[in-house]
Chains A and B, each alone.
Chain A
């Protein structure tokens, strides 16, 4: 499968936030979207999953314009996991995960099928949250919640998985574990996965492709080798250095403010 984004523009209150974004990604590819705060990473992911309206450009999956998709088709095609969830009305992790199955159910279907519950079981096993299923969503630690948010998106069984800072609150062990899972699933289920991320180290370790945003513009797309010292210094306005070279990948660390 191929996701093609052409001339995508997003404006908030007529202020352009995403300017003519253009790129394509293939299934089985894990793409990292990086860029400074406010550069438009979240906006890009939300525009692709149709959570924010774009004012120009088009998105295609295998040549089919998303405009032609129905709501439930979109629900089966895209899942976005952001950091936000309202938790004032008490509910359990299980109840939260089950909503991810709705795009797969018919309008009149009242209860879940056994397939629906199996998917929840499989995903909660993969993300190591089985013992959290009966816990209240509002009582989870930020790291636990983060895994639950990713699980919810996976329960949706999308073709395109959009993860916004999926590892921000995870400790090193879970960071690596969750990203391993995301990478494995991307390969085994042939997903198109886009991860918005600010961690250069993690990006270098896991990305098949990187997409660098700066002030709403895509300034570079390509393999992990695209991340050069010069590009990072330019985009983040810092002084950086290449520290090691592992499997032919450059690990760039910031040294000081430019």
Chain B
């Protein structure tokens, strides 16, 4: 194959994959609006989307489900993008906001802030900012700890250590906070869209959009960065700037997702890997594909937990249960492959 054919093939693969992922997202959104204790027909939902007349009771139901659905999509997109960014800047395909302790530290810092000042719970924007600082702290702790080793695994092991410690702390603090949280705290530890408010959506949406924009603008510097600092420098990018911008964006994306829906693990791992499988590793393509995949994955998980609760009396499971079932085998596969090498 000539270079031109190879290049065309890359671009074509990206366009096709994006179209398919967008179509999948649309159908998942429609499904998500219809699934629940009261099942609504697709026709009714399409009528609603087209602005046609819909039963008022059902309209209210759709609007409630819309908030959940948007929250799930935005969380998924955020995590998908932050997964790509964090894997790029650590040059480590096992990296993930949850595995590296970023999410759990963000949550424990948020809980700590809520214990010190319970009235914060009414100001989601401030919670997002605190969560962002917590995310930065988590990443720094992991980096500091992994300095002791140098293999790709040492970063992951350090992350697992930080995750364990900070999840323990978050667990304890959230337990103490139960009375003001008004929701089961396992929803924050493992993610859930049940407590998302309509007013959270603009915050989540603006952070996701900014993060995705940064990822797209940083594509070329990241493409050079993954091969080593020497490549960044030669091609005109400062590797430290790349590292700083990408980790800030990751922390912001993860932080806002944690603040609004809690910790949804493994999406940041699964989405980039599937994205690279579909469109290759060029960040211009993989970051947007990973955003779409993340959105698909989390909406799917949200549909699954609601479907389970509508047919059983288990109540609603947290999202992390489903994303873990999808994502953990991917981690296991990657680890096995690494070990064999």
Q: Given the interface contacts A95-B282, A112-B7, A133-B3, does A88 sit within 8 Å of B92 by beta carbon?
A: yes
B272-324 residues with Cβ-Cβ distance < 8 A to A are 276, 280-282, 284
* Residue B17 CB within 8 A of the other chain: no
Are A99 and B230 in contact (CB-based, < 8 A)? no
B81-96 residues with Cβ-Cβ distance < 8 A to A are 87-88, 91-93
* Residue A185 CB within 8 A of the other chain: no
Instruction: Give the residue of B3, B223, B236, B238 whose beta carbon is less than 8 angstroms from that of A117.
Output: B3
Q: Please, which residue of chain A has its CB at the minimum distance from the CB of B222?
A: A89
Q: Given the interface contacts A90-B276, A111-B11, A134-B1, does A71 sit within 8 Å of B236 by beta carbon?
A: yes
Say which size band chain B's interface belongs to.
Answer: 20 to 34
Are B152 and A92 in contact (CB-based, < 8 A)? no
* Residue B233 CB within 8 A of the other chain: yes
Q: Which of A75-83, A168-176, A230-238 contacts B (4 or more CB under 8 A)?
A: A75-83
Interfacial chain B residues near A156, Cβ < 8 Å: 234-235
Interfacial chain B residues near A144, Cβ < 8 Å: none
Interfacial chain A residues near B224, Cβ < 8 Å: 99, 102
Interfacial chain A residues near B329, Cβ < 8 Å: none
Q: Mark B78-120, 1 if CB is under 8 A from A, else 0.
A: 0000000001100111000000000000000000000000000
Min CB distance B18 to A, Å, is 14
Q: Given the interface contacts A90-B281, A124-B3, does A80 sit within 8 Å of B230 by beta carbon?
A: yes
CA gap between A121 and B4 in the complex, in Å: 7
Interfacial chain B residues near A99, Cβ < 8 Å: 220, 223-224, 227, 231, 235
Interfacial chain A residues near B226, Cβ < 8 Å: 86, 89, 91
* Residue A98 CB within 8 A of the other chain: yes
A-B contact pairs, 7 of them (CB 8 A): A86-B228, A89-B88, A95-B281, A97-B3, A102-B236, A103-B236, A124-B3
Known A51-B233, A88-B91; further 4 A-B contacts with Cβ < 8 A: A90-B276, A91-B226, A102-B220, A103-B236
